[in-house]
């Protein structure tokens, strides 16, 4: 699949913003001319997968204007005015578990069309992608060794067969990203808007990290992870392993957590997948990365937590599901949450980290996807509360309204993982129920120095702005 250019954010100083543009072209098609202000930019070859070359262009644009770059016959405007008013988008859950590539594009990309029209009127300075950028679950159909994944993993294979599996999976990931990234409204926005992305489970496969250790440690599963990770680096960060020390906080690349700053705002994204096990959300590397990410932050911190950091008392629901042996899938989904009993200590540690950021003088807003609903929550804090915004998913179908209603009722139980800091779920502005079961995405803005957020909902439209 061919796609691109997709812009990836690299950093900014007082003069320039550094960007990378990634694209995939069939091997026989060389990249066309790429230029900034008539100066040609040389492409860098990142990888070759299934008859395609993945190319990257590294370039800089001047800040403080609507700058532009050119590729082929087209020029692309990029709004680089980061000092004053700022618009940041947040999307998550771009797909569905089964048959995502077979959906009617009009219907599938309805909210993307909405977002693209909005971006035409008011360009985003940055787009955050909070997990499940693709639903790759079906990549395991690509090879006989993973056809029954995660069941019946064979121990009877040669090194050559394992390599063959790796190549098939690389091709399958490329195909999936290619189809999702070449969708017209997505391609249009992402050629003009730099993105920052953090993965969740479906960028690897459903429930990665909650699988049993004998599955995760199996050479077939490790091959799956290796292919997913290569795809994450290539397509979500325009990067290869060689770029890891420069782009991510953990120099070893075991955790792919990152932090990037714009004037007045630090954006921090812990990696909740690379080191996940059934009993752990992050390992030593992930926690060390969090430690360094939370030093010397700007006055506003946006914490991208791929699964919601603040939520209802799911441990009770999990206990009920567990006890009554209700569908294992739901149980695994709950195990993915910070609120799972298995992760209580780590959850407290992360919440304490957030409170420590407040002690430094920052105002923290957590933003998450994952649950295919829109909602928000507030944790009491000395500074007036830490807000959690949940926006999910932009193309994943919403669950039944009844499910959202029951979850909303259940959420009234409240939760206080840290003594003295109760968490309360709340409806979106203008909505009556705690959870909105509609496809959606989120908009942040800094307007005259004031931070606000607004959800765009499929049926209800734009919510009023919420002060953050
Ligand atoms: Fe999702």
Residue 18: inside a domain, yes or no?
Answer: no
pLDDT at 327 over 80: no
Residue 175: inside a domain, yes or no?
Answer: no
* Tokens, residue 69: 């770059």
How far does residue 441's CA lie from ligand 1's centre (Å)?
Answer: 13
How far does residue 408's CA lie from ligand 1's centre (Å)?
Answer: 19
Residue 47: inside a domain, yes or no?
Answer: no
pLDDT tens for each residue of 369-388 = 988 999 999 999 999 899 99
How far does residue 394's CA lie from ligand 1's centre (Å)?
Answer: 9
Phi, psi of 382 (to 5 degrees): -60, -30
The Cα–Cα gap between 172 and 26 comes to 15
Q: What is the DSSP letter of 235?
A: I
Residue 21: inside a domain, yes or no?
Answer: no
**CA triplet 334, 230, 181: central angle to 5 degrees?**
80
Residue 39: inside a domain, yes or no?
Answer: no
Q: Average of pLDDT values for 34-39?
A: 96
Q: How confident is the model at residue 210 (pLDDT cuts 50, 70, 90)?
A: confident
How far does residue 207's CA lie from ligand 1's centre (Å)?
Answer: 10
Is beta strand 34-36 parallel, antiparallel or unpaired with respect to 43-49?
unpaired
Per-residue confidence (pLDDT) for residue 322, from 0 to 100: 64
Whichever domain contains 327, its CATH number is 3.60.21.10
The Cα–Cα gap between 27 and 231 comes to 18
329 Cβ contact list (under 8 Å, min separation 6): 207
**Partner residues linked to 424 by β-bridges:** 378
Residue 12: inside a domain, yes or no?
Answer: no
pLDDT at 253 over 90: yes
How far does residue 204's CA lie from ligand 1's centre (Å)?
Answer: 12
Q: Which domain holds residue 414?
A: 74-139+190-221+236-467
pLDDT tens for each residue of 267-323 = 999 999 999 999 999 999 999 999 999 999 999 999 999 999 998 776 666 666 666
How far does residue 454's CA lie from ligand 1's centre (Å)?
Answer: 20
How far does residue 435's CA lie from ligand 1's centre (Å)?
Answer: 16
Residue 334: inside a domain, yes or no?
Answer: yes
How far does residue 422's CA lie from ligand 1's centre (Å)?
Answer: 27
How far does residue 94's CA lie from ligand 1's centre (Å)?
Answer: 7
How far does residue 299's CA lie from ligand 1's centre (Å)?
Answer: 30
How far does residue 439's CA lie from ligand 1's centre (Å)?
Answer: 12
How far does residue 313's CA lie from ligand 1's centre (Å)?
Answer: 20
pLDDT at 340 over 90: no
Phi, psi of 150 (to 5 degrees): -95, 15
pLDDT at 406 over 90: no
How far does residue 465's CA lie from ligand 1's centre (Å)?
Answer: 25
Which of the residue ranges 230-244, 402-416, 434-448 would you say has the lowest mean pLDDT? 402-416
Hunting for tokens 């397509």 — which residue is that? 235
pLDDT at 328 over 60: no
pLDDT tens for each residue of 55-113 = 999 999 999 999 999 999 999 999 999 999 999 999 999 999 999 999 999 999 999 99
How far does residue 205's CA lie from ligand 1's centre (Å)?
Answer: 11
59 or 332, greater pLDDT = 59
Per DSSP, the residues of 437-468 read -S-EEEEEEEETTEEEEEEEETTTEEPPPEE-
The Cα–Cα gap between 173 and 389 comes to 29
How far does residue 46's CA lie from ligand 1's centre (Å)?
Answer: 28
Residue 354: inside a domain, yes or no?
Answer: yes
SS3 248: coil
Q: How confident is the model at residue 330 (pLDDT cuts 50, 70, 90)?
A: low
Which of the residue ranges 25-34, 324-333, 346-355 would you say has the lowest mean pLDDT? 324-333
Hunting for tokens 């990029």 — which residue is that? 78
The Cα–Cα gap between 317 and 418 comes to 19
How far does residue 35's CA lie from ligand 1's centre (Å)?
Answer: 36
Per-residue confidence (pLDDT) for residue 326, from 0 to 100: 52
Total domain count, the chain: 1
In b/e form, how buried is each residue of 14-31, taking b as 16+ CB within 10 angstroms?
eebbebbbbbbbeeeeeb
How far does residue 164's CA lie from ligand 1's centre (Å)?
Answer: 29
Per-residue confidence (pLDDT) for residue 101, from 0 to 100: 95
For the CA atoms of 287, 289, 291, 296, the dihedral, rounded to the nearest 10 degrees, stands at -160
How far does residue 33's CA lie from ligand 1's centre (Å)?
Answer: 37
Work out the percent of the chain whose per-residue pLDDT is above 90.
Answer: 86
How far does residue 199's CA lie from ligand 1's centre (Å)?
Answer: 10
Q: How confident is the model at residue 52 (pLDDT cuts 50, 70, 90)?
A: very high
Per DSSP, the residues of 36-72 read ETTEE--EEEEEEETTEEEEEEEEEEESSSEEEEEET
Q: Is the dihedral of CA 318, 319, 320, 323 positive or negative?
A: positive
How far does residue 393's CA lie from ligand 1's centre (Å)?
Answer: 7
How far does residue 97's CA lie from ligand 1's centre (Å)?
Answer: 8
Rg of the Cα trace of the chain?
21
């Amino acid at each position: 699949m061919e796609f691109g250019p997709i812009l990836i954010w690299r950093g900014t100083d007082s003069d320039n913003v550094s960007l990378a543009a990634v694209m995939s072209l069939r091997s026989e098609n060389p990249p066309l001319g790429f230029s900034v202000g008539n100066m040609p930019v040389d492409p860098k070859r990142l990888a070759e997968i299934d008859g395609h070359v993945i190319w990257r262009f590294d370039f800089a644009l001047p800040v403080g204007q609507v700058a532009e770059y050119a590729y082929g016959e087209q020029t692309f405007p990029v709004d680089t005015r980061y000092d004053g008013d700022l618009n940041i988008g947040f999307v998550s859950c771009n797909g569905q578990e089964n048959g995502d590539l077979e959906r009617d594009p009009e219907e599938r990309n309805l909210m993307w069309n909405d977002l693209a029209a909005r971006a035409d009127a008011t360009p985003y300075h940055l787009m955050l992608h909070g997990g499940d950028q693709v639903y790759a679950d079906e990549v395991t159909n690509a090879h006989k060794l993973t056809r029954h994944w995660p069941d019946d993993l064979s121990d009877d294979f040669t090194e050559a067969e394992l390599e063959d599996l790796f190549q098939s999976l690389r091709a399958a990931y490329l195909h999936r990203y290619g189809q999702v990234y070449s969708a017209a409204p997505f391609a249009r926005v992402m050629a003009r808007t730099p993105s920052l992305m953090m993965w969740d489970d479906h960028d690897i496969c459903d429930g990665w990290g909650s699988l049993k250790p004998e599955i995760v440690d199996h050479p077939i599963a490790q091959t799956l992870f290796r292919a997913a990770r290569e795809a994450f680096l290539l397509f979500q960060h325009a990067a290869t392993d060689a770029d890891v020390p420069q782009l991510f906080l953990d120099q070893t690349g075991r955790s792919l957590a990152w932090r990037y700053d714009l004037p007045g705002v630090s954006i921090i994204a812990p990696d909740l997948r690379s080191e996940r096990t059934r009993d752990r959300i992050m390992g030593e590397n992930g926690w060390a990365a969090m430690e360094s990410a939370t030093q010397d932050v700007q006055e506003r911190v946006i914490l991208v937590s791929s699964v919601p950091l603040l939520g209802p008392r799911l441990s009770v629901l999990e206990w009920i599901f567990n006890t009554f042996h209700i569908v294992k899938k739901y149980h695994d989904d709950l195990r993915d949450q910070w609120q799972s009993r298995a992760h209580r200590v780590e959850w407290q540690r992360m919440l304490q980290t957030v409170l420590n950021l407040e002690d430094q003088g920052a105002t923290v807003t957590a933003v998450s996807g994952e649950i295919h609903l829109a909602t928000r929550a507030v944790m009491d804090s000395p500074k007036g509360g830490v807000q959690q915004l949940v926006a999910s998913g932009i193309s994943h179908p919403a669950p039944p309204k009844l499910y959202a209603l029951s979850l909303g009722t259940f959420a009234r139980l409240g939760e206080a993982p840290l003594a003295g800091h109760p968490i309360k779920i709340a409806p979106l502005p203008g909505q009556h129920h705690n959870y909105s079961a509609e496809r959606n995405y989120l908009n942040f803005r800094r307007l005259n120095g004031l931070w606000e957020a607004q959800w765009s909902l499929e049926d209800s439209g734009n919510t009023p702005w919420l002060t953050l």
